[in-house]
Structure 1
Amino acid sequence: MQTLSPVKAAEREIFMDVLRGFAILGIFIANLGSGFSGYNESAHATGPLLAQDWDHKMTFLHHMFIEGKFYSIFSLLFGWGIALQIKRGLDKGTDALPTIKRRLVFMLLLGAIHLLIWTGDIVFFYALLGFLLLPCRKFSNKTLLVTGITLIVLPILLYAAKSQWHWLNAPSDLLFSTGQKLDLKLTGITSEAEYFEYAKHANWWDILKGNISGFFFRYGYLFFVSRIPKVLGMFLIGYALGRSDFYKNIAQNKKIIYWIIGLGLLIGLPANFYLARYMTYFSNDYWSMKIKGLYQTIFYALGVVPLAMAYVGIFMLSFQSNAGKKLMSVLTPVGKMAFSNYFLQSLVGNFVFLGPGLGLTGTIGPFYYTFFGIGFFIIQIIISTIWLKYFNYGPLEWLWRSATYKKWQPMRKTETISA
């Protein structure tokens, strides 16, 4: 009879880095479509790297298999990570909260800087919500899971309510109108056509001015799509996952994982098919708050998280085999340097698509930028692997850790890491 032994902490951390690396890939491809490329099937998008039929098909596939799934995984890992930090503190007889709060404050600072580089930043947003997560740590695991699931489906009710009582959308309207006024003052942009020309030819100072007003558009968007309950809900589920030692006891939990995968695919695939259909063909209805927009919200709530959890479950089971572990471990260096790699993706996205670099805004469609995203991610795997042969952390991880512990951390491999 086989003895069921718990997973060691080191192996768990490697798996989390693998999953984090996978999430970074999906987030980059999603960001290429939603922000960097400027494509969005616009009539002003022109160029040799647009393939209308293939771009349309790829857009559908993005909505079905990528949209929302990877920030959901990243959110799960965020809550999971905070739970492990608190558990480690309890094991040592120390209070981890002051350290976690310092980490979140420094995240806010880095996120604010990143917002000036690219307005699609999630670091600042996650740090803010991290402070909302901390009071929930006293909830039972059952309460965390029930509350998390409730928050994930809450956008259905919010969308229905806002479509009936428009004043409920006042925060989003205020942020959008502020962004428009500031954008006109700082950049003079009044139309989509002007934006394309601005993005292609602007210098770094112009881009910075655009990003200042872009902050208001970004947070207007986050309020409109009810991103707060979606992300916070995944934080809570991740926290319950980490505190319950679910992965540590994976041998005993395999049946649950099979159920997560099975239900995730059974519910997630058809729901995401219809989500992709509504996002591809009826996206204007969503922003106009029409009935098809409500349908899109329903399929998003029912489809995104189940499919994301199915991805996680598949990774969990695959990582238990030697072959799966060896294959998937190539993602570990990227995940270990996730912060640095996320920022690097923003810098590269800016260079490729904006005026100070190649200025290719609106000239590359989903078919080609998907392969570009995968290709650059392979480069990130190589760079991260080489970097971590000589250094203990990525550059931003090193700064983050040093600020958290209020002393410079050993950067080179030859130096000793203090506990």
Structure 2
Amino acid sequence: MASDGGVFPRPINPGERIDAIDVLRGLALLGVVAINVVNEFRVSIFEQFLSQKPAASPIDSIIETILVLAVEMKALALFSLLFGAGLAIQFERLANSERRTSLLIRRLAVLLAFGLIHLCLIWNGDILTEYALAGLIVLPFLFGPRWLLAIAALAFLGLYLAMQAFPPTGLFPSTATIAQHVADATRIYATGGFLDVLAFRLREIPLIVPLHAFIFPRTIGLFLLGAFAWRVGLLQNAPGRLLWIAAPCIGLGAALILSGAEALGTILLALGYAAAIIGIANLRCGKKLLGWAAPLGRMAFTNYLAQSLIFGWIFYGYGLGLFGRLGVTSALAIGVAVYAAQVLFSAWWLGRCRYGPVEWLWRTLMYGEAQPMRQTA
């Protein structure tokens, strides 16, 4: 590959990474695992919209309530903030390259291709497709000043909050349609073969698209907010400032959620989580306490896709067929066990290789040539 104006574009070296951001990504993945395994692999994603749900044990009810209040939507919000910051980091690193725009577009196009494959062939709870499309919208804003990022973030988050307060009519199917779909999902996902599950998964996509449309402005807004946080230096070794930000965000966010203002409370709580974790991870004691999550965060793409394959085999009919048969506690225990195994595997893998397998492929396709994989001394 020829150099661009004297600059040779390349992926960031592992030694140049900001460990605190990888720690946050690794911990956010735990929240994503918990919600995905409980709400989207264990049962139909649409069961949560039914007023009549199957009876649950007291412990299941307690755990589900904790997940809803403290984790659900907050983990994805953390990933959105991180994706926006990562996009801004890439944009900054390629500042002297004539190919900056084309490389970033290719990066998002490759992500879109991964997302569509994941969505159609593996699991339709995919978030990669939405992130790729949101990234393409956010990319032009990165050419502007910091104030533009801040105003655009507030505008998109304001649109999201307005949609929560005044939901668009006709966006979601009727309760009867959802109930019938949940019954079909329980039967087919639990007992169907791979082709049966694949066909039903594809039929589900038109029902899932409105769910993404409903949070799409929030995703864009959080991308912009993450990019803004990077631009103003909040994510670069500023534990004191971040911990001062964390306390009011967590406190106010929790109060809003408990009072019923869940949409705004979720955003503030996610901001508080991010500030607290990055702030603590930048402290000496925090590095010892949370450092185990950094390898997992460096391989978040690989681990996310691996979770879909593993949980698909555990819950769908072409594997163990546990869909609809487990309670919240049992499913969460499986999710935590898979997560713990990935923590160990990620540390082992990155002791030998520079990137996770999917991260390596993503970078290779982005830059147009095979990247070095083996770890060197």
Give the alignment's TM-score, normalised by structure 2. Answer: 0.87
Alignment of 1:237-256 (within 5 A): 237-248=225-236, 250=238, 254-255=240-241
Corresponding letter in the other structure for 2:226: G
Deviations 1:274-301 (A, max 9, x none): 44xxxxxxxxxxxxxxxxxxxxxxx122
1:97 to 98, 101, 114: 101
1:31 equivalent to 2:28? Answer no
Q: Distance in 2 between matches of 1:11 and 1:232?
A: 27
2:344 to 382, 385, 388: 382
**Are the structure 2 counterparts of residues 413 and 138 from structure 1 closer, same or farther at C-alpha, using a change threshold of 3 Å?**
closer
| C-alpha contact 2:42 2:323 (8 A) present in aligned 1 | yes
1:119 to 113, 116, 124: 124
1:213 equivalent to 2:218? Answer no
Query: Counterpart of 1:409 in 2: which secondary structure?
Result: coil
1:362 equivalent to 2:324? Answer yes
1:230 equivalent to 2:210? Answer no
Alignment of 1:130-145 (within 5 A): 130-145=135-150
Following TM superposition, by how much is the alpha carbon of 1:191 offset from its aligned partner in structure 2, in angstroms?
4.7
Q: Distance in 2 between matches of 1:357 and 1:261?
A: 43
Following TM superposition, by how much is the alpha carbon of 1:147 offset from its aligned partner in structure 2, in angstroms?
2.7
Structure 1 counterpart of 2:8: none
Query: Counterpart of 2:238 in 1: which secondary structure?
Result: coil
Structure 1 counterpart of 2:284: 322
Moved more, 137-146 or 263-272: 137-146
| C-alpha contact 1:261 1:310 (8 A) present in aligned 2 | yes
| C-alpha contact 2:77 2:267 (8 A) present in aligned 1 | yes
Following TM superposition, by how much is the alpha carbon of 1:149 offset from its aligned partner in structure 2, in angstroms?
2.9
Corresponding letter in the other structure for 1:145: A
1:394 equivalent to 2:350? Answer no
Alignment of 1:183-332 (within 5 A): 190-223=180-213, 226-248=214-236, 250=238, 254-255=240-241, 257-275=242-260, 299-332=261-294
Following TM superposition, by how much is the alpha carbon of 1:338 offset from its aligned partner in structure 2, in angstroms?
0.7
| C-alpha contact 1:45 1:363 (8 A) present in aligned 2 | no
Following TM superposition, by how much is the alpha carbon of 1:155 offset from its aligned partner in structure 2, in angstroms?
2.8
Structure 1 counterpart of 2:67: 62
Following TM superposition, by how much is the alpha carbon of 1:95 offset from its aligned partner in structure 2, in angstroms?
4.3
Q: Distance in 2 between matches of 1:192 and 1:89?
A: 47
| C-alpha contact 2:238 2:282 (8 A) present in aligned 1 | no
What is the root-mean-square deviation in Å for CA atoms of aligned residues? 2.6
**Are the structure 2 counterparts of residues 359 and 152 from structure 1 closer, same or farther at C-alpha, using a change threshold of 3 Å?**
same
| C-alpha contact 2:63 2:328 (8 A) present in aligned 1 | yes
Corresponding letter in the other structure for 1:403: L
Following TM superposition, by how much is the alpha carbon of 1:33 offset from its aligned partner in structure 2, in angstroms?
2.4
Give the share of equivalent positions with the same residue, in percent: 31
1:17 to 12, 17, 22: 22
2:335 to 373, 385, 388: 373
2:368 to 406, 411, 415: 406
Give the alignment's TM-score, normalised by structure 1. Answer: 0.79
Structure 2 unaligned regions, length at least 5: 1-13
Following TM superposition, by how much is the alpha carbon of 1:208 offset from its aligned partner in structure 2, in angstroms?
1.0
